[in-house]
Amino acid sequence: MRRPSEEGWDRRVQWPLVVVSLLFVAAYAWPILDPTLPLALRRTLATVVTLTWVVLTGEFVVRLLLARDRWRFLRDHPLDLAAALLPVFRPLRLLRLLSLLTLLDRVGRGSLRGRVGLYVGASVTLIVFTGSLAVLDAERGSSGPIQTYGDALWWSVETITTVGYGDMYPVTVTGRVVAGLLMLAGIGVLGTVTAGIASWLVERVEDLGEQEDLEQGTAPATATDVQALREEVRRLREELAARPSP
């Protein structure tokens, strides 16, 4: 159970964190996508990346201090902890953008499957984009085959779908760490998609069964039927009570 102070903090910082995360994305991605930027602009963007990292790390520390069980909080937020402590994991701060998905919840609120589809689609897009940037940042200039964003994007799609043709692969330590995380994300995405398909099939079978029951006149009693039966029993009891005793 979360403390009221923790919930209040989350409500207050949700939108500011979204803005900070977007600034981080822009400052982090721009020099990677355009390596010909002037040195002064690259330094400015590097400063923005550092400042946003400090802000996000500070917010993580505040949430840790507000948590009722701090050890459990650390266990439940391993990516935040790694991104705060290790510069190599800074690209993981891009996952903060998942908070934007809460604003899209109304689109699929009428169906659990709709919400799952929305979150999976947006999460996959964000993870592929993040993984492509991170691996390109690590691999550019190395002896590996990933040297452009197109190469990195193709590699990310191969990896998250667990296809792995082998034509693109990371050779640096950081690139391989990103690859491992992307593989785990791919397994999770496939599991979610499989569960969604299974849920849809179960619902379809149940709908067909109910339709057959209606056609055969063997449908189970509805709440309206039960209420009507209760009214009939009550009326019969009143009639019996109104009859004179013999």
Residue ranges of domains in the chain? 1-96, 110-240
| pLDDT of 128 over the 70 cut | yes
The set of residues, in sequence order, having a beta carbon less than 8 Å from that of 114 and lying 6+ positions away, is 107, 108
Most confident region among 75-84, 116-125, 133-142 by mean pLDDT:
133-142
Amino acid at site 154: W
Residue 56 in contact with residue 93, Cβ under 8 Å?
Answer: yes
Question: pLDDT exceeding 90 applies to what percent of the chain?
Answer: 16
pLDDT of residue 57: 83
The set of residues, in sequence order, having a beta carbon less than 8 Å from that of 202 and lying 6+ positions away, is none
Question: pLDDT exceeding 70 applies to what percent of the chain?
Answer: 72
* Tens digit of each residue's pLDDT (9 = 90 or more) over 38-63: 999 999 999 998 898 888 888 888 88
* Tens digit of each residue's pLDDT (9 = 90 or more) over 183-229: 888 887 777 777 777 777 777 777 776 666 566 655 555 667 677 77
* Tens digit of each residue's pLDDT (9 = 90 or more) over 16-31: 877 887 888 888 889 9
DSSP string, the chain: ---HHHHHHHHHHHHHHHHHHHHHHHHHHHHHH-TT--HHHHHHHHHHHHHHHHHHHHHHHHHHHH-SSHHHHHHH-HHHHHHHH-GGGGGGGGGGGGGGGGGGGGGGTT-HHHHHHHHHHHHHHHHHHHHHHHHHHHHTTSSSS--SHHHHHHHHHHHHTT---SSS---SHHHHHHHHHHHHHHHHHHHHHHHHHHHHHHHHHHHHHHHHHHHHT-PPP-HHHHHHHHHHHHHHHHHHHHSPP-
Domain 110-240, CATH among 3.30.2130.10, 1.10.287.70, 3.40.50.2000, 3.20.20.70? 1.10.287.70
The set of residues, in sequence order, having a beta carbon less than 8 Å from that of 181 and lying 6+ positions away, is 92, 131
| pLDDT of 115 over the 70 cut | no
| pLDDT of 170 over the 80 cut | yes
> Given pLDDT bands bounded at 50, 70 and 90, which one contains residue 106?
very low
> What is the pTM for the complete model shown?
0.63
> Given pLDDT bands bounded at 50, 70 and 90, which one contains residue 172?
very high
Q: Which residue has the tokens 């691996």?
A: 135
Longest dimension (CA), the chain: 109
- Taking the CA atoms of residue 17, residue 179, residue 36 and residue 23 in that order, the dihedral angle to the nearest 10 degrees is 0
Residue 175 in contact with residue 146, Cβ under 8 Å?
Answer: yes
